[in-house]
Structure 1
Amino acid sequence: MTSAQLLIDAFGRVREEVHHAVDGLTEDQLGYRIDGQGNSIAWLVWHLTRIQDDHIAGAAGLEQVWTAEGWGARFGLPLDETDTGYGHNDHQVSRVRAKAELLTAYYDAVHQKTIDFVGALTDDDLPRIVDRSWDPPVTLAVRLISVISDDLQHAGQAAFVRGLLP
């Protein structure tokens, strides 16, 4: 198995978990917050997708799917167009509402862009520095594993919330 195949498999698992967490739920169920607080399924899936979109676009030197394909307008969220959800407070989390079909369609568009990018990578690409704002600087390999890890954590949190739906 090549590194590219391994990455395709890992991102495919993220996609499966995203769909499992979201499919068949109503907008109200997706917006449910345990004890009226915490992150909703809608926010978790939107956020993990925004981060994946942001990080893959940055590493690939491409425009984010969010802006390039008009997803920001489709979601119509009362947030800045560049917002990824990082550092959101309780009020901001509550503002992220969406239908299941919209969440999975946006994720699938980002997933396809991700697969197109990672499918063309070779082992020689992975040590490339993609972010010098950290010490040590972040390589492409570290960035991709970070995205996969973050995505799986948030998808797991969304599945947990789904299991607690009233």
Structure 2
Amino acid sequence: MQDIELYAELIESLSKWAHLEVEGLSERELAWQPDAEGNSIGVTVWHFSRWLDVVARLLDGRKPAEELWLTRGWAERTGYNPQGIGEKGLGAVTGYTLEEVAAIPPLSAQDLLMYLDQLCEVICTFLRSLPSSEPLQQPIYPGAELTKQQMLQTVFLGSCGHLGEIEALKAMMKRAGK
């Protein structure tokens, strides 16, 4: 199996795992926080989905205005454009203040998973269109130290970690009787 097919299958598995953890959760369950500074399940799913949106854009060499959050109508539908917020203005929760996290619009489990699925489909289509894994060895942008492959690996592993975090949040919520 080629590297790119393995990456595509791992991204598809990430989406399936997210569905198992999030599908059917109520608005209350998605919004539950273990404490005032802890992220909810909804914010956590949106966070790693936003990072995948950034990855999808950088893999394909597109501009920030071409991220799916904007092009698929999510910003318009929610009235929320995250660009310019947080670390490097990426709008992916990393580097957000508590107030900025609180401003993220709550989405239903169905909408969170739809956004994630759109991203996974775009990334997998891009990966499967590559003739080899060689283009993944290029820097994410000219002069960057990080390659596209390193970025993809980092965000994929982070997303897996966040799915583990969601499992822990669900267990804590159950123990708290919420």
Task: Give your verdict on TM over 0.5.
Answer: yes
Report the aligned-residue RMSD: 1.8
1:129 maps to 2:139: yes
CA distance in 2, matches of 1:164, 1:71: 30
- What residue ranges of structure 1 are gaps of 5+ in the alignment? none
Q: Of the two structures, which has the highest relative contact order with CA contacts closer than 8 Å and spacing of 6 or more? A: 1
Q: Give CA-to-partner distance per residue, 1:62-119, whole Å, 9 cap, x none.
A: 3211111111122334x54452212122222233321111101111111111111111
Contact 2:8 2:128 (C-alpha < 8 Å) held by counterparts: yes
The one-letter code sitting in structure 1 at the alignment partner of 2:151 is R
Q: 1:68 aligns with which of 71, 75, 82?
A: 71
Q: What is residue 147 of structure 1 aligned with on the other side?
A: 155
Q: What is residue 29 of structure 2 aligned with on the other side?
A: 29
Contact 1:20 1:159 (C-alpha < 8 Å) held by counterparts: no
Deviates more, 1:101-110 or 1:151-160: 151-160
Q: TM-score, normalised by structure 1?
A: 0.89
How many residue pairs are counted as aligned between the two chains? 163
Q: 1:149 to 1:157 in 2, by over 3 A?
A: same
The one-letter code sitting in structure 2 at the alignment partner of 1:143 is M
The one-letter code sitting in structure 1 at the alignment partner of 2:49 is T
What aligned pairs does 1:95-134 form with structure 2 within 5 A after superposition?
A: 95-96=103-104, 97-121=106-130, 122-131=132-141
1:38 maps to 2:38: yes
Q: TM-score, normalised by structure 2?
A: 0.83
CA distance in 2, matches of 1:132, 1:162: 41
CA distance in 1, matches of 2:157, 2:135: 20
Contact 2:59 2:140 (C-alpha < 8 Å) held by counterparts: yes
Divergent runs of 4+, >6 A: none
Contact 2:53 2:68 (C-alpha < 8 Å) held by counterparts: yes
Contact 1:132 1:138 (C-alpha < 8 Å) held by counterparts: no
CA distance in 2, matches of 1:156, 1:162: 10
Deviates more, 1:149-158 or 1:87-96: 87-96
Aligned to 2:129, what secondary structure does the other structure show? coil
Q: 1:21 to 1:75 in 2, by over 3 A?
A: farther
Q: What is residue 97 of structure 2 aligned with on the other side?
A: 89
Contact 1:41 1:161 (C-alpha < 8 Å) held by counterparts: yes
